Structure 1
Amino acid sequence: MLTLVQKPAEPEPLKTIESSIEDRLKDENFSWMKPIVRDLYKIPNEQKNLSPEQLQELYTNGGVMKVYPFREESTVKIPPPVNSFEQAFGSNASIMGEIRKNGFEKPSPIQSQMWPLLLSGQDCIGVSQTGSGKTLAFLLPALLHIDAQLAQYEKNDEEQKPSPFVLVLSPTRELAQQIEGEVKKYSYNGYKSVCLYGGGSRPEQVEACRGGVEIVIATPGRLTDLSNDGVISLASVTYVVLDEADRMLDMGFEVAIRRILFEIRPDRLVALTSATWPEGVRKLTDKYTKEAVMAVNGSLDLTSCKSVTQFFEFVPHDSRFLRVCEIVNFLTAAHGQNYKMIIFVKSKVMADHLSSDFCMKGINSQGLHGGRSQSDREMSLNMLRSGEVQILVATDLASRGIDVPDITHVLNYDFPMDIEEYVHRVGRTGRAGRKGEAMSFLWWNDRSNFEGLIQILEKSEQEVPDQLRRDAEKYRLKCQSGRDGPRPSFRNNKNKNSNFQASY
């Protein structure tokens, strides 16, 4: 009987900046455009002749940094990491003033390497856990990038200046709004931005686009919608950011991302950030970047944050509400108003149900999930940030990118569907150098994740409960005998009807 042997996928041909410029010149849609001014960075004198030992010390300052070309055959030159804001932006008084005003002491590890790479005009992939400063890592170089492109039009006042120059793609409305908030905070050179997302006022977004903006922050769905209608042209974009790329792929945005990138000139500068490094992100990087440089803070292996102490209890579902009330009462007695907690549940219905039960018990909380209106979601987050409420009951919508830096506790009321999501939930606390605590309720129905959870805990030097080890071994033996097996995941790429937004 004949069997078909699937040919292994071949890697994309190595793209360089020079080859991408040639591709642009051959494409009549982009051939008329001005070249991109890329190299805005001068290596500081004190860093020009570093020994391998000195360079290694810079990489390990504040975290384990690994920096290397994405493709082994690439010969791209990698600038050393900066160890101060002055080394990256010292000649820019406006940016340095904002940095000092915000009280930043020194760059985070991921910033120290992404800044010189992006300012040098090199594509860059930043892989780092949540709360590590990735937003400013791509945003501040983007502002200087706009300066350099606009300078090409200063000699001819009659020449129309194109817009936008910078596009930031984000998986969720909340993260997109947070990035817009950072742009407005720096209010650099009067550059205008617009945030495009579903649920926001479409007429207002259309008006802002037609008025001309330098920076667009958008979710893929709404951007595709407005682009299809001719409201916004992406041909002028020279600097593209794919923020939380792993999350965007999880949410089913891959087709939209590819469509958007097809509309942008091939010699664009690309920054991609991700908290994890799954196969889908690797393929995206291979296809749409040019001699990209990897800047990895920590490990590419899935691991949870060491700054978060993680606890586990085996609690049946019908006993969980009573137990979570006991935990809330304990935290209130121990910390008063000096704690904030996110309680993660598996569905929109469960989030509403738990919030209502809290209300009946006199516990003040807010809910956050995809079924609530945009104004309700913004209100819930603002109440948590301000301290008006200390408890947010949320689906996995809140597990990534939501920037509430003073979350002290995370509770997994329902254990997530996979280990990757567990890592992101736990990463909501212990951010920006703080410590945090996470509690997870477990039961036998979570058994398919037990082995992966043990590996995560051991890598992050956490204590592994004895019952977790026993049940993991029990499940392994059942699988070996054919009496049990893993549950299907909604992330299964073969399931074309799988939809993150519908689920959460």
Structure 2
Amino acid sequence: MASVLELFTVHCSSVSVLSGGRRPRLVCEAVPQISPQQDGSRATTKRSFGRLKVQRVQNIVKESYRKIKQIDDLEDDQLNEPVISYDESDEQEVINVQNDTTKAVRSFIKSRNKQAVSSSRSSDSSSRGWGTVRSVDSYRPKTDNLSKKGEMIKANNDFFSRKSFKELGCTDYVIEALRSLQFIRPSHIQAMAFEPVIDGKSCIVADQSGSGKTLAYLVPLVQRLRQEETEGNNKPASQNPRVLILVPTAELASQVLSICRSLSKVGVPFRSMVVTGGFRQKTQLESLKQDIDVLIATPGRFMFLVNEGFLQLTNLKSVILDEVDILYKDDDFESLLQRLAGSAPVTAQYLFVTATLPVEIYNKLVEVFPDCEVTMGPGMHRTSPRLEEFLIDCSGDEKAERTPDTAFLNKKNALLQIVEQRPVTKTIVFCNKIETCRKVENALKRLDRKENSIKVLPFHAALEQESRLANLEEFRCSPTKNISMFLVCTDRASRGMDFAGVDHVVLFDFPRDPSEYVRRVGRTARGAGGKGKAFVFAVGKQVPLARRIIERNLKGHPLHDVPSAYEAMR
């Protein structure tokens, strides 16, 4: 049987970049040659950042890299792992991207009639900021050697900070609790965010998916709560939480609650609870009568409790808006912010946590909170360094009729071949619509009707919340030997959900928003050592757009100007 890549005539170009935290990437589909005159990044970036003051963006980037440098100082002589170097040329490259002065940095040689495609990067001024660069001869991807595409950067180089939790200022009981949960060293974003969060400053905490942002705000907040309680300055009260965490979905709320309870059980006692839709209000109202330290809620249920007088905010010290870019898409969210500002103490701290920070969201946040600090991790708007991305053109024969039905059939065949030829333990399949989810579920179930080797778990809004949570729990658990588990879902599963051990992510439908692309592929290759593969199915005009997104990921460019291109495509 021909492989899926042979079936859809996808060529492969492999490029290895070995410095400054960059990584080798594998991009299926040969890409056209780009010259400085043809590269449209200059004009589009300028439009996207038009509302930002240039100096402010420079200061944000410089401050982020300054913090990384401070945190990464070699203060622990016992640590001998190689260190990521953020030299001036790396910093200058990012600033140039923000200022719209980056020139084209790579030329690709396209050859659709050859099986071997080579890609190289010039060593002159166009390579400035990348350090040592080398090219790797490409090959036709085979099932047995896709992973042997070049040298991978070690996980502990680009994930962990050189600082220890002790050096950050964590107390002994917090360090012991983290150690019991197998957190030995902080990630970059955890180290960068600790000081401003524990000092009570409002700030934006932004870094790539899987970088540890939940602990980045929970650890300093919980430590501060314990210190205030010990000093007698602030104590928990019923119906009056000290910390409020707002999240977009009930599933993410349950995940954050699980992390809170884990910390509480291992030496940092505090009381946390969750209030979301889909569960009995009576039970939640009874729980609210007890003393509350941390309340985790979805916006709808939170507003109901406040409007009906079941929840007070006079004791509130900190408000966390997790996945704030998703929350802002709700039409009622700005009114929620106004209600918070009017009911919470004026001294309350606001933390905005996100894996993607669109310019329009940034502008709104700094307009309402002008003193808000910006803490950006080194992986902001980038995919994991251990992720391999494959673009598969499912358009079909140019001479044949192209309809949504034929596109679905092509994508289904590609998916089934991946399943049959590359069996793995856990795969997440993303679709744009519930109807498509159901079709994909049926196609996968037909491969193994008795579920001897394949287990298909749906996850979308058409399911009852209890069913969704049960499927999530089953997917997270270690599967039975020789069982391949598939979570077939909409973007509901991409919004902050943490899955361990996901081998493949399949973008069955191309995401509507490039930010969703980052979130979807961020469900694999997570944390310090996670690896994974993302298969991106595209048809028609989606193919050049998908190629453009992957190219910009490869170059380290931001994706802020891509949404306008997507709008033009529709």
- Does the aligned pair in 2 maintain the 1:415–1:441 contact within 8 Å? yes
Query: How far has the Cα of 1:381 moved from its partner?
Result: 0.7
Q: Which residue of 2 is the match for residue 464 of structure 1?
A: none
Aligned: 1:385 with 2:476: yes
1:322: how far off?
2.2
Aligned residues of 1:210 and 1:231 also touching (Cα < 8 A): no
Matches within 5 A, 1:131-210: 131-151=210-230, 153=232, 163-187=240-264, 190-210=269-289
Change (3 A) 1:360 1:448: same
SS, match of residue 342 in structure 1: strand
| TM alignment of 1:440-455, pairs within 5 A | 440-446=536-542, 449-450=545-546, 452-455=548-551
- Residue 204 of structure 1 and its aligned partner are, at CA, apart by 1.3
Contact 2:177 2:268 in 1 (8 A): no
Deviations 1:248-280 (A, max 9, x none): 113443433333343211211222211112134
| 1:248 and 1:254 in contact (8 A); partners too | no
Other-structure match for 2:417: 326
**1:264-305 Cα distance to aligned partner (Å, 9 max, x none):** 1121122221111213431343144363322211265x4333
Task: Report what 2:318 is aligned to.
Answer: 239
1:51-450 equivalent positions in 2, closer than 5 A? 55=70, 57-58=72-73, 83-93=163-173, 95-151=174-230, 153=232, 163-187=240-264, 190-252=269-331, 253-289=333-369, 291-298=371-378, 302-315=381-394, 316-332=407-423, 335=424, 339-362=425-448, 363-388=454-479, 390-433=485-528, 434-446=530-542, 449-450=545-546
Match of 1:456 in 2: 552
Contact 1:171–1:251, Cα closer than 8 Å, also in 2: no
1:460 and 1:107 map into 2 onto residues whose CA distance is 24
Q: Answer with 428-437 or 442-451: which moved more.
A: 442-451
Q: Is the 8 A contact 2:202 2:350 kept in 1?
A: yes
Assess if the C-alpha contact under 8 Å between 2:238 and 2:290 holds in 1: no
Structure 1 residue 366: Cα displacement: 0.4
Report SS of the residue matched to 2:458: strand
Other structure's SS at 1:423 match: helix
What are the superposed Cα offsets for residues 399-446 of structure 1, whole Å, 9 maximum, x if unpaired? 121111211110011111121211111111110021211001111042
1:52/1:358 Cα in 2 relative to 1: closer, same or farther (>3 Å)? closer
Structure 1 segment 25-40 matched on structure 2, within 5 A:
none
The one-letter code matched in structure 2 to 1:379 is A
Change (3 A) 1:201 1:89: farther
Amino acid at match of 2:552: I
- In the alignment, the residues of structure 2 paired with residue 141 and residue 225 of structure 1 have an alpha-carbon distance, to the nearest angstrom, of 29
Residues 267 and 321 (structure 1 numbering): CA distance in 2 closer, same or farther, change over 3 Å? Answer: same
Kept in 2, the 8 Å contact 1:173–1:198? The answer is yes
Partner in structure 1 of residue 47 of structure 2: none
Which amino acid is the alignment partner of residue 347 of structure 2?
D
Report the Cα distance in structure 2 between the residues aligned to 1:295 and 1:309, rounded to whole angstroms: 27
What SS does the corresponding residue of 1:364 show, helix, strand or coil?
strand
Report the alpha carbon displacement of residue 354 of structure 1 after superposing the two structures with TM: 1.4
SS of equivalent to 1:250: coil
Cα separation, 1, equivalents of 2:536 and 2:490:
14
- Residue pair 1:193, 1:213 contacting (<8 A) in 2 also: yes
SS in 1 for 2:568: coil
Deviates more, 1:144-153 or 1:422-431: 144-153
Say if 1:63 and 1:297, in contact at 8 Å, map to a contact too. Answer: no
* Alpha-carbon separation, structure 2, partners of 1:224 and 1:409: 38
**Which sections of structure 2, spanning at least 5 residues, go unmatched?**
1-49, 54-65, 75-81, 96-160, 395-406, 449-453
8 Å CA contact 1:210–1:232 kept in 2: the answer is: no
Q: Which amino acid aligns with 1:402?
A: M
Distance 1:53 1:457 in 2: 21
Q: TM-score, normalised by structure 2?
A: 0.64
CA contact (8 A) 2:201 2:349 kept: yes
1:162-210 Cα offsets, whole Å, 9 max, x none, are 8311011111111111111011001155421111111122111111112
Whole-Å separation in 2 of the counterparts to 1:313 and 1:91: 50
1:486 alignment partner in structure 2: 568
Aligned partner of 1:493 in structure 2 is: none
**2:61 — aligned with what?**
none
d(CA) in 1 for partners of 2:567 and 2:532?
Answer: 34
TM-score by length of 1: 0.72
Report the aligned-residue RMSD.
3.5
CA distance in 2: counterparts of 1:268 and 1:456, whole angstroms: 38
Note the C-alpha offset of 1:351.
1.1
Percent identity between the two aligned chains: 25
Tell whether the 8 Å contact from 1:304 to 1:460 is kept in structure 2 after alignment. Answer: no
Q: Is the 8 A contact 1:194 1:216 kept in 2?
A: yes
1:221 offset after TM fit, Å? 1.1
CA gap 1:167/1:82 in 2 versus in 1, 3 angstroms: farther
User: 1: distance between equivalents of 2:469 and 2:511?
Assistant: 24
Q: Secondary structure at the match of 2:301?
A: helix
Shift of 1:319: 2.0
Query: Unaligned stretches of 5+ in structure 1?
Result: 1-7, 12-50, 69-80, 462-471, 489-504
Alpha-carbon separation, structure 2, partners of 1:449 and 1:208: 49
